């Protein structure tokens, strides 16, 4: 079984699997050592770690370089968040996915919003056509990558977020994609409504009000992402320790 098949099967189990979201090669090693079954980039965390704002500002060459190093040094499946696809056409997006696949990446996240000039949803039918063309190009070149499609009505806080999400899932479902990602969904009744609507595995993300993992299992969630939240916590803690060293005028805070 290759890593693409291994990663795909993780989405078909009764138990949802927890994806460790990395921001560099060292964090990839940490998640692997902790027993995670798969890892993926957080676009926000990775961009921030390299000094860029989120929203396709991090150069794609940097993403590719990180991907190559990660896949050379970890054994578990690795997926990459490519945001809007780093391309203005199906051909451009498919080419970048192919490059990542050749680097050993088994999956990508692709979102149905455009981040510039301000984040907004793409027209659903236009995005469906884009997905269909991307899948067709990948299949013709025998590129096997798990396409996890992010739909952002909840992330944008739309008043009709649930209805818009379900409508978009139904629009995208027959394009050949492999999974649906709904960031910022948190209420059990909303999650259940989404998982009942589709046979595709549903991915949710860390949120303060998100149910625990046993509850998510009962709601038929298949994948749980960490997003940038662990990265944010680690960064904040580093800032506290750095300040404590200055205040203590010693390295004692690093050993307490």
- Return the pLDDT at 245: 98
Taking the C-alpha atoms of residue 256 and residue 253, their distance in angstroms, rounded to an integer, is 5
Domains and CATH numbers, the chain: 3-228 (3.20.20.60)
- HSE at residue 46, side-chain half, CA atoms within 13 A, is 29
- Return the pLDDT at 117: 87
Mean pLDDT of all residues in 154-160: 98
Structural tokens at position 139: 């299949």
1 pLDDT band, cuts 50/70/90, is confident
Residue 241 has pLDDT above 90, yes or no: yes
Mean pLDDT of all residues in 131-153: 98
Instruction: Report the mean per-residue pLDDT for the chain.
Output: 97
Mean pLDDT of all residues in 47-52: 98
pTM assigned to the model: 0.96
94 pLDDT band, cuts 50/70/90, is very high
Residue 116 has pLDDT above 90, yes or no: no
Mean pLDDT of all residues in 122-136: 98
Q: What is the pLDDT of residues 179-214, one digit of tens each?
A: 999 999 999 999 999 999 999 999 999 999 999 999
222 pLDDT band, cuts 50/70/90, is very high
- From the number of C-beta atoms within 10 Å of its C-beta (0-12, 13-18, 19+), residue 69 rates as middle
Handedness of CA 227, 228, 234, 236 (dihedral sign): negative
């Amino acid at each position: 079984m290759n890593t693409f098949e291994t990663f795909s099967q993780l989405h078909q189990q009764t138990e949802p699997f927890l994806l460790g979201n990395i921001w560099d090669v060292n964090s990839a090693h940490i998640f692997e050592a902790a027993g995670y079954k798969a890892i993926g980039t957080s676009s926000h965390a990775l961009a921030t770690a390299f000094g860029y704002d989120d929203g396709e500002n991090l150069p794609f060459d940097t993403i590719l370089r990180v991907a190559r190093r990660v896949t050379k040094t970890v054994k578990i499946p690795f997926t990459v968040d490519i945001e809007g696809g780093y391309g203005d056409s199906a051909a451009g997006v498919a080419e970048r996915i192919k490059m990542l696949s050749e680097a050993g990446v088994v999956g990508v996240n692709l979102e149905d919003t455009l981040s510039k000039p301000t984040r907004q949803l793409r027209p659903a039918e236009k995005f469906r056509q884009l997905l269909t063309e991307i899948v067709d190009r990948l299949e013709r070149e025998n590129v096997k990558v798990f396409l996890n499609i992010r739909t952002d009505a909840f992330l944008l806080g739309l008043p009709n977020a649930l209805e818009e999400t379900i409508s978009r899932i139904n629009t995208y479902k027959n394009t050949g994609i492999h999974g649906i990602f709904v960031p910022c969904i948190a209420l059990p009744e909303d999650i259940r409504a989404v998982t009942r609507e589709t046979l595709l595995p549903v991915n949710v993300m860390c949120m303060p009000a998100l149910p625990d993992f046993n509850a998510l299992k009962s709601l038929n969630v298949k994948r749980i992402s960490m997003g940038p939240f662990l990265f944010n916590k680690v960064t904040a803690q580093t800032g506290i320790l750095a300040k404590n060293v200055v205040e203590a005028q010693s390295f004692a805070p690093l050993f307490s």
